């Protein structure tokens, strides 16, 4: 390769596709670096990272709002280490739970790690690239923080002060329902990133309020089903969802049951697994992501995430064990 090394020119940002924080982070990275955006979910993230890393023309890679789990963290470090050896710039910006060991391993090969579990990813991207961003970009960070229940954090709340609260809330919420309602339409999600990058917000995006209304109507239907569908265990409530997403239903399982932990699970199209969503109430003191991560791995699945919001992929035959173990591990800790 000496003297004829491949010209490196490709600038890529891989971000989370399932919520406003992921899309907002991608838009901010693109504003700051011109990166080409790719959106993935937790299940698809490693395949995409592997695929992009295999491109010899890759010059820089941002990874945003995507957590690692016991199952993939070593491969994650391995791939990024190999990229650093090829002198690819790598920046990882995130707020999912991440062990000290992994952070150290990444930093030792000079991956730039921006990691704070106390602020949403987009707020951290905004703070990282503030000088390169138009001032109005802070609105992307603010809307992302609201979506992630993190608008009360030190940096996010400062940014929120610059805007009218209701204006920010409705923009964040309409955006969120557009993201949730278009999970199977990647082109649409990418067009939302385009809009955000151009500093266009829901009131300037055609049909976004009507899409949000339809989504709210769907959720009202889900709420009715959850009302008499959830089951209670000592420390949690759970429900199998068949005709909607588990993540849309889980907040209703939590809220309607009055328990401190709610679990909703749905069979995935690949049949072998359940997609599981877990939420904790405001008063839940346990870090749910740290329970779910090793538990899912021990059952042959994967999972993890935040303290009051996390998810997992659990083999179908293990779902009862998962619920039982989860319930047991919460004993005396809530
Ligand atoms: Mn996030």
pLDDT of residue 4: 60
- The string of DSSP letters for 73-132 reads HHHHHHHHHHHHHTT-EEEEEE-S---HHHHHHHHHTT-EEEE-TTS-HHHHHHHHHGGG
Task: State in Å, rounded, how far the first CA of the chain is from the last one.
Answer: 58
**Six-digit token pair at 260?**
């401190």
pLDDT of residue 5: 64
Per-residue pLDDT tens digits for 10-48: 999 999 999 999 999 999 999 999 999 999 999 899 999
Give every CB contact of residue 54 below 8 A, 6+ residues apart in sequence: none
8 Å CB contact between 71 and 41:
no
Residues, CB within 5 angstroms of ligand 1 (ion): 21, 65, 120-121, 148
Per-residue pLDDT tens digits for 317-328: 999 999 999 999
Q: Give every residue of the chain whose pLDDT is below 50, as ranges.
A: 1-3
pLDDT of residue 6: 76
Boundaries of every domain in the chain: 10-206, 222-329
Distance 1 CA to ligand 1 centre (A): 40
Q: What's the topology of domain 222-329?
A: Diaminopimelate Epimerase; Chain A, domain 1 (3.10.310)
From the options 2.40.10, 2.60.40, 1.10.150, 3.40.50, give the CATH code of 10-206: 3.40.50
Distance 22 CA to ligand 1 centre (A): 6
8 Å CB contact between 118 and 97:
no
Distance 65 CA to ligand 1 centre (A): 5
d(CA 39, CA 190): 8
Distance 120 CA to ligand 1 centre (A): 5
pLDDT of residue 334: 86
Distance 303 CA to ligand 1 centre (A): 15
pLDDT of residue 194: 98
d(CA 93, CA 204): 28
8 Å CB contact between 61 and 83:
yes
For the whole model, what pTM was predicted? 0.93
State the Cα torsion 189-12-49-289 to the nearest 10°.
-60
Q: Which residues pair with 263 in a beta bridge?
A: 238, 278
pLDDT of residue 193: 98
pLDDT of residue 243: 85
pLDDT of residue 270: 79
């Amino acid at each position: 390769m000496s003297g004829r090394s491949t010209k490196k020119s490709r600038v890529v940002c891989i971000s989370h596709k399932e919520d406003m924080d992921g899309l907002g982070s991608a838009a901010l990275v693109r504003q700051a670096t011109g990166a080409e955006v790719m959106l993935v979910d937790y299940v698809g993230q490693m395949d995409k990272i592997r695929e992009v890393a295999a491109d010899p023309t890759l010059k820089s890679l941002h990874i945003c709002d995507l957590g690692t789990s016991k199952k993939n963290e070593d491969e994650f470090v391995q791939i990024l280490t190999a990229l650093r050896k090829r002198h690819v710039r790598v920046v990882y910006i995130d707020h999912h739970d991440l062990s000290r060991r992994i952070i150290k391993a990444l930093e030792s090969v000079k991956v730039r790690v921006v990691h704070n579990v106390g602020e949403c990813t987009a707020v951290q991207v905004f703070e990282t690239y503030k000088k390169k961003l138009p001032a109005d970009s802070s609105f992307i960070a603010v809307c992302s923080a609201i979506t992630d229940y993190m608008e009360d954090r030190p940096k996010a709340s400062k940014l929120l002060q610059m805007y009218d609260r209701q204006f920010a809330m409705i923009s964040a919420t309409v955006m969120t329902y557009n993201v949730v309602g278009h999970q199977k339409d990647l082109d649409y999600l990418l067009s939302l990133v385009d809009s955000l990058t151009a500093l266009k917000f829901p009131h300037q995006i055609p049909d976004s309020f009507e899409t949000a209304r339809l989504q709210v109507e769907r959720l009202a239907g889900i709420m009715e089903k959850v009302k008499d569908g959830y089951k209670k265990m000592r420390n949690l409530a759970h429900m199998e969802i068949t005709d909607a997403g588990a993540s849309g239903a889980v907040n209703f399982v939590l809220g309607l049951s009055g328990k401190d932990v709610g679990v909703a699970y749905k069979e995935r199209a690949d049949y072998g697994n359940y997609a599981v969503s877990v939420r904790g109430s405001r008063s839940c003191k346990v870090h749910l992501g740290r329970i779910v991560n090793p538990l899912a791995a021990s059952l042959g699945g994967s999972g993890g995430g935040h303290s009051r919001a996390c998810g997992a992929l659990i083999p179908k035959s293990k779902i009862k064990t998962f619920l039982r173990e989860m319930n047991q591990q919460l004993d005396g800790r809530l």
